[in-house]
């Protein structure tokens, strides 16, 4: 059998695997991605993309395409049974209530469309998915605690791959430094490693159907929760005038579930029946399908999290392989992509020999906690959703107030904006006070600043691309006066000293590892980009001012939004994944040095 070595073998080319593959493509790593499917997903499946995921996609330059191809959902609507027996609207609200979301809406794009964002971005960087390929053997060659496992240059994982589209020479051996299993809820990798799933299945059975509707229902283009006396549905607008309906199946339909496998017998259901049920629930409005149904399925909600996310930090799992939950809050694809966005830069640092293997431990710590929270959220949400509405006959039913209150309470969570990673070697909040609103462990808050050199307004998120570099963002008082200029000169000296992390962990050219931005509270028209010491202007675009743009449409108030005293300033360290790693006063470079010493080599 042919044998070869790779840095990273990714098994499963869904959103989770592709997020990781694209993040590492073209960066000098030897990465392969295999998938058992002969072709990609063409319709249906996961579709909801939440605000934090928009920001992550933007950090890879992919958001422009999502905006073009996906559908924006700005509104939630809620319906309950009315006095006449038909449904009536209770309320319309914003789909997203997080004020700092850069993109204040949720989006939908069918899973295959989202996968293509990555596939098309990877191709020019020389990485393509190898399809019709499955692993048949997966082994860790070294014992726990062995030196081989601690050596990031070793190839301790052996995988046998089978190419289903070949009749001879269909098997090969791959020796990998790391293997990532992103092969879905029924993950072969997870099972091969004997990783257990904690949790169980609910008793809620739902059907989901994508089609073009003909209807007089006025909220068909909102994300609409409908409780009726005939059951419940969730309406989710889809791209290109499609609509997705999640239809709660009746108790009778529960017989479709095989109690052993918790799988649903799809043969007993049909999309026509789902739409018929939905039409009954939607009364007094009418609903018909135009043309063929695009995609449909029936499922029972599982709520489970893997007991661990890796074996020895060499064989890692992510996405649906780690966690399954209800699709109705639109979280699945987001959690999956979030996993590998979190993991990719850590793998890059370890593979380059820049960081200790212990950095990989933070992947499980950060993402398993998130997955557990997700299940808790999902339990509340699914129960509310599947419960009967409160009516005269059911005074123990679910009230609209309970639904809405849950919706708001979990808004930060479901949008992804509110995710906060706990203190660790890469989350250090001892100086939180110096940037009181930039919560260490949360994502950097987007805000518009102005280029000092050309007065162009730019969202700071666009200066924080997911390029595997840490971003050192220095906020400083007006540099045209001594209040700003003096401390900035002092900082420049400390940053260029022997002891500085730039020198110690910069690997020759510190700009390969760290990008440096400088934001001053000076006035837009009075400061020059040449007013800051050279270390802060590797390029003219790296010097910014917290002021409004010429058109008066954006910018200004950044120091206040971040809780940074304009007189004192602050150093903000943004991780390669866009999360605030630590903050410190301008005169505490030693604490930044200590932060990086905690995991960098």
Note the residues at the interface with its own copies (CB under 8 A): 64, 68, 72-75, 92-96, 99, 101, 104-105, 216, 218-222, 237, 451, 453-457, 525, 528-530, 540, 549-551, 553
Rounded to whole angstroms, how far apart are CA atoms 318 and 256? 30
Structure tokens at 569: 């300033």
What are 424's two structure tokens?
């660790």
Catalytic hit among 15, 51, 156, 327: 327
**Smaller CB distance to its own copies: residue 73 or 335?**
73
In the bound state with its own copies, the residue whose beta carbon lies nearer, of 75 and 263, is 75
DSSP calls for 313-335: TTEEE-GGGTEE--STTS-HHHH
User: One of 60, 103, 155, 246 is an active-site residue; which one?
Assistant: 246
Question: Is 238 among the residues known to form the active site?
Answer: yes
Closest CA to 203 of 250, 168, 159: 250
Q: How far apart are CA 195 and CA 308, in angstroms?
A: 7
Q: How far is the CB of 540 from its own copies (least distance, A)?
A: 6
Taking each continuous run of H as one helix and of E as one strand, the counts in the chain are 15, 26
SS3 label, residue 235:
strand
How many residues appear in the chain?
601
* DSSP string over 357-419: GGGGHHHHHHHHHHHHHHHHHHHHHHHHHHSPBP-SS-TTSB-HHHHHHHHHHTHHHHHSTT-
Beta-bridged to residue 584, according to DSSP, are 571
Nearer to its own copies, 106 or 386 (CB): 106
Which lies closer to its own copies via its Cβ, residue 302 or residue 412? 412
Least distance to its own copies from the beta carbon of 530, Å? 5
Q: How far is CA 522 from the centre of its chain?
A: 35
Tell me the closest approach of the beta carbon of residue 575 to its own copies, in angstroms. 27
- Annotation says 246 is catalytic: yes
Residue 171 annotated in active site: no
Of 95 and 306, which CB lies nearer to its own copies in the complex structure? 95
The H-or-E segment that residue 297 falls in is strand 287-306
At closest approach, how far in Å is the CB of 43 from its own copies? 22
Tell me the torsion sign for CA atoms 485, 488, 493, 494: positive
Instruction: Give 241's DSSP letter.
Output: G
Tokens (6 digits) for 174:
């791959």
Question: CA 209, 212, 214 angle in degrees (round to 5)?
Answer: 115
Q: Which is nearer to its own copies, 111 or 224 (CB)?
A: 224
Closer residue to its own copies, CB minimum distance, 3 or 525: 525
Q: Does the active-site annotation cover 102?
A: no
- Write down the least CB distance from residue 223 to its own copies, Å: 9
Q: What is the smallest separation between the CB atom of 284 and its own copies, expressed in angstroms? A: 13
Q: Can you tell me the distance from the alpha carbon of 234 to that of 8, in angstroms, rounded to the nearest whole number?
A: 40
Shortest distance, position 559 Cβ to its own copies, whole Å: 21
Exactly one of 238, 304, 314, 367 is catalytic; which is it?
Answer: 238
Q: Which of 125, 121, 127 is nearest to 63 (CA)?
A: 121
| The CA-based dihedral angle spanning residues 591, 444, 438, 460, taken in that order and rounded to the nearest 10 degrees | 100
Set 47, 219, 253, 478: catalytic member: 47
Q: Indicate which residues carry an active-site annotation.
A: 47, 238, 246, 327
């Amino acid at each position: 059998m042919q044998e070869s070595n790779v840095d990273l073998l990714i098994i499963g080319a869904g959103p989770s695997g592709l997020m990781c593959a694209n993040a590492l493509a073209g960066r000098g790593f030897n990465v392969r991605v295999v998938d058992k499917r002969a072709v990609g997903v063409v319709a249906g499946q996961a579709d909801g993309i939440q605000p934090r995921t928009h920001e992550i996609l933007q950090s890879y330059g992919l958001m422009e395409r999502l905006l073009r191809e996906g559908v924006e959902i700005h509104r939630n609507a809620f319906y309950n049974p009315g006095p006449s027996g038909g449904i009536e609207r209770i309320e319309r609200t914003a789909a997203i209530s997080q004020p700092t979301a850069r993109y204040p809406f949720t989006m939908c794009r069918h899973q295959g469309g989202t996968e293509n964002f990555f596939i098309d971005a990877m191709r020019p960087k020389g990485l393509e998915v190898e399809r019709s390929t499955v692993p048949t053997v997966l082994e860790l060659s070294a014992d726990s605690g062995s030196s081989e496992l601690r050596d990031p240059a070793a190839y301790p994982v052996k995988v046998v791959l089978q190419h289903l589209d070949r009749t001879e020479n269909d098997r090969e051996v791959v020796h990998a430094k790391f293997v990532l299993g992103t092969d879905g809820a029924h993950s072969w990798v997870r099972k091969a490693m004997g990783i257990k799933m904690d949790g169980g299945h609910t008793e809620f059975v739902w059907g989901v159907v994508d089609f073009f509707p003909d209807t007089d229902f006025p909220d068909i283009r909102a994300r609409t929760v409908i409780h009726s006396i005939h059951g419940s549905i969730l309406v989710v607008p889809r791209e290109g005038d499609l609509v997705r309906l999640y239809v709660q199946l009746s108790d009778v339909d529960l017989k479709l579930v095989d109690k052993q496998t918790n799988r649903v017998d799809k043969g007993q259901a049909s999309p026509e029946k789902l739409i018929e049920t939905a039409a009954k629930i939607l009364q007094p409005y009418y609903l018909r399908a135009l043309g063929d149904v695009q995609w449909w399925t029936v499922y029972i909600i599982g709520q489970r999290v893997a007991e661990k996310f890796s074996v020895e930090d060499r064989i890692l799992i992510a996405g649906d392989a780690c966690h399954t939950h209800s699709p109705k809050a639109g979280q699945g694809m987001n959690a999956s992509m979030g996993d590998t966005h979190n993991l990719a830069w850590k793998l890059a640092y370890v593979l380059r020999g820049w960081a200790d293997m212990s950095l990989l431990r933070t992947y499980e710590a950060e993402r398993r906690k998130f997955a557990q929270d997700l299940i808790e959220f999902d339990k509340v949400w699914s129960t509310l959703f599947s419960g009967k509405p409160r009516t005269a006959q059911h005074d123990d039913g679910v009230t609209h107030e309970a639904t809405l209150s849950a919706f708001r309470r979990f808004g930060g969570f479901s949008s992804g904006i509110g995710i906060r990673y706990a203190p660790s070697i890469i989350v250090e909040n001892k100086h939180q006070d110096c940037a009181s609103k930039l919560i260490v462990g949360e994502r950097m808050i987007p805000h518009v600043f102005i280029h000092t050199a050309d007065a162009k307004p730019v969202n700071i998120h666009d200066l924080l691309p997911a390029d595997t570099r840490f971003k050192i963002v220095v906020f400083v008082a007006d540099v045209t006066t001594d209040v700003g200029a003096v401390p900035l000169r002092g900082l420049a000296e400390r940053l260029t000293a022997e002891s500085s992390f730039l020198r110690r962990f910069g690997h020759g050219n510190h700009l390969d590892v760290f990008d440096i931005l400088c934001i001053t509270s000076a006035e837009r028209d009075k400061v020059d980009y040449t007013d800051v010491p050279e270390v802060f202007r590797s390029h003219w675009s790296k010097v910014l001012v917290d002021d409004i743009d010429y058109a008066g449409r954006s910018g200004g108030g950044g120091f206040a939004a971040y809780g940074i005293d304009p007189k004192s300033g602050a150093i903000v360290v943004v991780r390669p994944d866009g999360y605030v790693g630590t903050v410190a006063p301008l005169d505490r470079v030693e604490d930044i040095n200590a932060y990086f010493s905690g995991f960098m080599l």
